Amino acid sequence: MGKLARNAAIYGLGGAINKLIGFLLLPLFTHLITPREYGIAALLQMISFVVVPVFSFGFSASLAPVYYREAGLAGRRRVVMSAVTFLLASTVALLLLSVLLADTIAAAWLGGAGSRTYFLISMSTAAAMVVASPLSLYLQFENRARAFVIISMGSTLLTALLSIAAVAWWKLGLEGWLGAILVGQLVNLAGLVVVFVGGGVPRPGPSYMRQLVLMGLPFVPSFAMLWVIQQGNRIALENTHGLGQLGIYSVGSSFGMAIGIILVAFQRAWLPFFMEHRDDPGAAGLFSKVTNRYCIGFGLLVVAAFAFAAPVVQTIVAAEFRDAYLVVGTVALSQLLMIASSLLTPPQYFSEKLYHITIIQVIGACVSVPVNYYLIRALGLPGAGLALATCYGLLGLIHLLWNRIHTSYPIRLAFDRPRLLLVGAAYTALSAVAFFHRPEGLAWQLLSAVSISAAAAMCAFVALGREERGRFVSVMNRMCRPGVSRPRPS
């Protein structure tokens, strides 16, 4: 578990710096880019969310099982090279289709032919992401978190600088912002290539490509279903309340996804961690401990997101975006629930039945459609965030039931349900208080946020086991008294 924590911490540090850069740009961008342009950017993001996994052929899921079948590093590098070679051909097809369909999609989805350039830039960015995916996974599988973070931070900093120049100095608006993102992705891809070929250029193998495609293709519908779950609320909000409300939601979503800095870091460390314990007879108990600590620790951050949403958002963004605070907490909750679903996937990965995940997500996507329709029509902007969190919660319940029904899996996950239910109830109550009770004045809002977060921290401390509390107190004592060392046993 120490390796999981260390790698998650490194990924989290890099993600925190990247997200901080994004936050620093928000005040500038919300004054120079209109809600409607933010809405167009959100639609382009939705299109990319479909395009990237489809033209990746599900390799982001199939790469891990094929990679870990190989015992030596040489064979594993050939698996990665095979994936990159195949995906290079795939991105050529993507770019050709983008050029052919640009006018049609711009007119049908993005409000006119003037958005054609936006679409082409966005699809070029998606192509770079497709090729980069197996290379970034390679660094994660080899526990090279520092290299991953350095490349990511460098490309993000470059993107930020170019975005400022393009939007504020050259006055290129949304087109300049999208162009800066494209340059950042190309630099990220170049960095990953340099690190990978530093160990030599392995020869791709047709047999590896075949394994990757056969295992990955059944997973492509899974990404389509995730698109329905993750983006369905945006489509419903745009259709019922317009591009302006979608743009405000996108700003609020960027705040809510701040918790994703740590959660995505955890997810990146989680996949190689649990795959390394594939043959460990004590894996189920270890995974149970990870789940308990995940829910207690990261749930605390969700409560803080609810508590600080109003004072932070309304202080930072332009006046027309201030309602964005209404979705910050629920989007943060959805991130927690989304990553929690990955904690339930070891049975499918260990049995190499990845298509079971697709079936689970098909069921979840079907359930999400009426949930989005009802909540967004009834509640508007706040309903969009609530719908996303509800859909991910239902997806997790479906996955739990699926694992419980299928007794043939090589591992049976077990959880401390009473403890998780109690702490979940406490967190829910505190989040509800934070959302519905908003005192007047910034100072009172901050005082309320600190009080609610402190109460949540007390709940988290009580929810920890005796041994975990002892370790926590010991760590805090060492941090508060760094000059005092524990006596060594004689």
* Residue pointed to by tokens 């524990």: 486
Supply the pLDDT for residue 13.
52
Residue 236 pLDDT more than 50?
A: yes
Supply the pLDDT for residue 424.
93
26 and 257 Cβ atoms separated by less than 8 Å: no
Supply the pLDDT for residue 392.
94
By percentage, how much of the chain surpasses pLDDT 70? 90
Structure letter (DSSP) for residue 217: G
Mean pLDDT of 376-391: 95
Query: DSSP letter string over 102-128?
Result: HHHHHHHHSSSGGGHHHHHHHHHHHHH
Supply the pLDDT for residue 300.
93
Mean pLDDT of 332-350: 91
Tokens of 320: 């027309």
Compute the mean pLDDT over every residue in the chain, rounded to the nearest whole number: 87
Residue 303 pLDDT more than 50?
A: yes
7 and 268 Cβ atoms separated by less than 8 Å: yes
Q: Residue 3: which of 248, 278, 271, 338 has the closest Cα?
A: 271
pLDDT classification of 18: cutoffs 50, 70, 90:
low
Supply the pLDDT for residue 316.
84
pLDDT classification of 57: cutoffs 50, 70, 90:
very high
Q: Residue 185: which of 151, 223, 161 has the closest Cα?
A: 151
Can you give the pTM of this predicted structure?
0.71
Supply the pLDDT for residue 382.
95
pLDDT classification of 489: cutoffs 50, 70, 90:
very low
Q: Which residues contact 355 (CB under 8 A, 6 or more apart)?
A: 218, 219
pLDDT classification of 21: cutoffs 50, 70, 90:
low
Supply the pLDDT for residue 237.
92
Q: How far apart are CA 406 and CA 384, in angstroms?
A: 33
Tokens of 377: 């029509």
Q: Residue 162: which of 136, 183, 186 has the closest Cα?
A: 183
Q: How far apart are CA 47 and CA 26, in angstroms?
A: 23
pLDDT classification of 4: cutoffs 50, 70, 90:
low
